[in-house]
């Protein structure tokens, strides 16, 4: 996953001079006595970097936001909820969940669109020591069935569309169902959200003790072996990611001020733009770490407003940006492109927007220039992160990005990094060394649920293998050179090629299947496949797509399919030569 964005433009000056000011700012923030100081602690038997005075869990983070009281918190289309109103709903749901036997080490699955109920369900679940299981709303019934049986939730909170899919599943764990925004018939013993909210407000959250290294969230990542893996995100890691976001922003701002004070860059002369209260638009799914951990968490902790949509529609997004005075738009690059090209861009008031950013895919070069022309007071920013690190790994913004435009930035305070070769051996540190990036720290996930082998393969002695090829320069800035994992990033969604190939091979007419990504202007990449049929068999592109629609989500189905008569070329070890094949077919 790649994070990118657009921030307020700093004053003009020598951008290279700000690097040493930034490194000084990071050292100052990490000094003993600083609220953002780090230290080494043993977590699951591994010495890792942690924030010394971090809040112990996400419940404490949530309870602190009660001070924001009557400020707007969640805006969903034309609905509006204050912090006080959501806190009341969270208390009611938490009490109800406990009455259903949910508590520490339990799980509650959330399967719905970006409704306000998702937010309530999340905070209620993590506040009683249970883990919130983020169910991908695009999943087919068979994919839902796998995740439910894998995570074994005690409660499923589900909306109308997902409830209909649930009725098509043959085997599910024993769980209590709470339906949201639907009149559809419930499974035996189920409850409706409205009935839960009609109960009396207990006034306080249930008193349940739990550990900071307990699971807070289970987010499923696309699997490389046909099934998604449930990444176990902890309270410690979730809190640390929030503080990493704070620290990176503070360090960048401090570096700018230090550079101005030293006379390395001039002080700004233009009058400051009108200040608006912080307001985040989150158009990407909350079942992903980008929207949940990097937008919802950060916005909530700062008392900001979060704007949600029923579905992505650029014209509606522009209407909400104007109405709610959105200051930060966080989506995938496709969304920014569609907004900039929408006819309403020139008529809607977007002057409140101070940053356009998000995660899920790299920013195409032409889009950099389009955003530059649209947001006159903006500068590009970029970064890099993964579900497996609870959010961000690096960040590079404003003047730092100008100084090192090809870098995704330095590591966040609670991570240390190294490069290894393809066999996992450490490589010597140096700005010219290129290898697979591995990171270690308190934001690395506990592991993959029920997948000890996959966990051991990805995390060794606390070091997470990101699967991406990188180099690290003399200032500690990371450069992603290539993607080691065989996947397509389509509109911000990771699609593992082997997962699609596995689904294709379920068709008995298939002899060989090779899946890869091809460039697509709107989505960044699209899924493509090359197929060799068994002798005497016939199959059309539409027939194969129809077959796949029953087994994998729509965004994973190849939109371009080539059929070959001869075998797909392979290397000496028998692996498909995907890059050569892609170049042969597309010229890319």
From first to last of its 588 residues, what are the pLDDT tens digits of the chain? 555 555 555 544 455 678 999 999 999 999 999 999 999 999 999 999 999 999 999 999 999 999 999 999 999 999 999 999 999 999 999 999 999 999 999 999 999 999 999 999 999 999 999 999 999 998 999 999 999 999 999 999 999 999 999 999 989 999 999 999 999 999 999 999 999 999 999 999 999 999 999 999 999 987 555 678 999 999 999 999 999 999 999 999 999 899 999 998 888 776 666 789 999 999 989 999 999 999 999 999 999 999 999 999 999 999 999 999 999 988 877 788 788 888 899 999 998 988 786 666 666 555 666 676 777 655 667 788 999 999 999 998 878 877 887 788 999 999 999 999 988 999 999 999 989 999 999 999 999 999 999 999 999 999 999 988 899 999 999 998 766 667 888 888 888 787 888 889 889 899 888 999 998 888 889 999 999 998 899 999 999 999 999 889 999 999 999 999 988 887 654 567 888 888 888 877
Handedness of CA 282, 2, 578, 583 (dihedral sign): positive
Separation in Å, CA 29 to CA 16, 23, 50, 239: 21, 10, 13, 17
End-to-end CA, the chain: 22
The domain defined by 58-211 folds into Rossmann fold (3.40.50)
- What is the C-alpha to C-alpha distance for residues 246 and 301, in angstroms, rounded to an integer? 10
* Structure confidence at residue 317 (pLDDT): 97
Residue of 365, 369, 374 whose CA lies nearest to 321 = 374
Sheet holding 510-520, edge to edge: 510-520, 524-533, 560-564
DSSP letters spanning 285-318: -TTSHIIIIIIIHHHHHTT-EEEE-SS--HHHHH
Domain 488-586 has CATH 3.60.70.12: no
- What is the C-alpha to C-alpha distance for residues 53 and 36, in angstroms, rounded to an integer? 8
Strand partners, 134: 110, 219
Per-domain boundaries in the chain: 58-211, 488-586
- What is the C-alpha to C-alpha distance for residues 136 and 133, in angstroms, rounded to an integer? 10
* Structure confidence at residue 379 (pLDDT): 60
pTM for this prediction? 0.86
Strand partners, 561: 529
Contact yes or no for 352/321 (Cβ under 8 A): yes
* Structure confidence at residue 574 (pLDDT): 57
- What is the C-alpha to C-alpha distance for residues 238 and 216, in angstroms, rounded to an integer? 8
40 phi/psi in degrees, rounded to 5: -100, 130
Q: CA angle at residue 223 from 140 to 47, to 5 degrees? A: 135
- What is the C-alpha to C-alpha distance for residues 556 and 500, in angstroms, rounded to an integer? 7
Separation in Å, CA 265 to CA 10, 260, 381: 9, 5, 19
């Amino acid at each position: 996953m790649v994070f990118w964005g657009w921030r307020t433009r700093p004053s003009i000056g020598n951008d290279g001079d700000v690097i040493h000011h930034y490194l000084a700012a990071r050292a100052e923030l990490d000094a003993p006595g600083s609220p953002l100081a780090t230290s080494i602690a043993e977590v699951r038997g591994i010495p890792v970097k942690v924030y010394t005075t971090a809040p112990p869990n996400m419940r404490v983070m949530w309870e602190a936001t009660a001070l924001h009281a009557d400020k707007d918190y969640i805006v969903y289309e034309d609905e509006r909820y204050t912090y006080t109103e959501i806190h009341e709903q969270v208390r009611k749901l938490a009490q109800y969940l406990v009455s259903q036997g949910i508590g520490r080490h339990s799980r509650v699955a959330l399967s719905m669109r970006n409704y306000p109920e998702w937010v309530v369900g999340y905070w209620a679940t993590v506040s009683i020591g249970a883990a919130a299981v983020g169910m991908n709303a695009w999943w087919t019934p068979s994919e839902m069935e796998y995740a439910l049986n894998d995570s074994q939730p005690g409660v499923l909170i589900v909306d109308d569309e997902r409830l209909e899919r649930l009725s098509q599943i043959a085997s599910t764990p024993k769980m209590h169902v709470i339906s949201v925004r639907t009149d559809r018939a419930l499974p035996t013993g189920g409850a409706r959200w409205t009935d839960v909210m009609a109960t009396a407000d207990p006034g306080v959250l249930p008193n349940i003790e739990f550990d900071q290294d307990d699971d807070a969230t289970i987010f499923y990542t696309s699997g490389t072996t046909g099934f998604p893996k449930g990444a176990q995100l902890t309270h410690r890691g979730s809190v640390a990611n929030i503080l990493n976001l704070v620290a990176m922003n503070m360090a960048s701002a401090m570096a700018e001020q230090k550079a101005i004070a030293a006379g390395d860059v001039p002080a700004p002369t233009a009058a400051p733009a009108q200040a608006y209260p912080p307001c985040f638009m989150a158009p990407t799914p909350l079942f992903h770490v980008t929207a949940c951990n990097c937008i919802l968490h950060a916005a909530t902790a700062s008392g900001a407003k979060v704007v949600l949509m029923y579905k992505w529609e650029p014209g509606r997004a522009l209407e909400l940006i104007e109405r709610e005075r959105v200051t930060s738009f966080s989506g995938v690059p496709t969304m920014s492109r569609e907004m900039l090209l929408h006819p309403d861009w020139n008529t809607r008031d977007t002057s409140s927007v101070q940053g356009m950013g998000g995660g899920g895919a790299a920013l195409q070069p032409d889009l950099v220039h389009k955003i530059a022309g649209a947001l006159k007071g903006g500068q590009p920013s970029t970064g890099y992160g993964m579900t497996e690190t609870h959010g961000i790994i690096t960040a590079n913004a404003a003047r730092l990005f100008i100084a090192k435009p090809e870098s995704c930035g330095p590591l966040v305070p609670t991570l240390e990094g190294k490069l290894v070769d393809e066999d996992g051996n450490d490589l010597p540190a140096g700005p010219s060394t290129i290898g697979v990036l591995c990171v270690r720290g308190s934001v690395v996930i506990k592991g993959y649920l029920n997948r000890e082998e996959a966990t051991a393969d990805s995390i060794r002695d606390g070091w997470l293998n990101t699967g991406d090829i990188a180099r690290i320069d003399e200032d500690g800035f990371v450069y992603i050179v290539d993607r080691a994992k065989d996947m397509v990033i389509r509109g911000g969604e990771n699609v593992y090629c082997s997962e699609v190939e596995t689904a294709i091979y379920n068709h008995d007419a298939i002899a060989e299947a090779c899946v890869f990504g091809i460039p697509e202007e709107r989505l960044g990449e699209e899924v493509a496949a090359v197929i060799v049929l068994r002798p005497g068999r016939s199959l059309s592109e539409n027939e194969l797509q129809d077959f796949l629609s029953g087994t994998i989500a729509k965004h994973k189905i190849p939109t371009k399919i080539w059929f070959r008569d001869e075998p797909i070329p392979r290397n000496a070890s028998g692996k498909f030569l995907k890059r050569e094949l892609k170049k042969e077919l597309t010229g890319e």
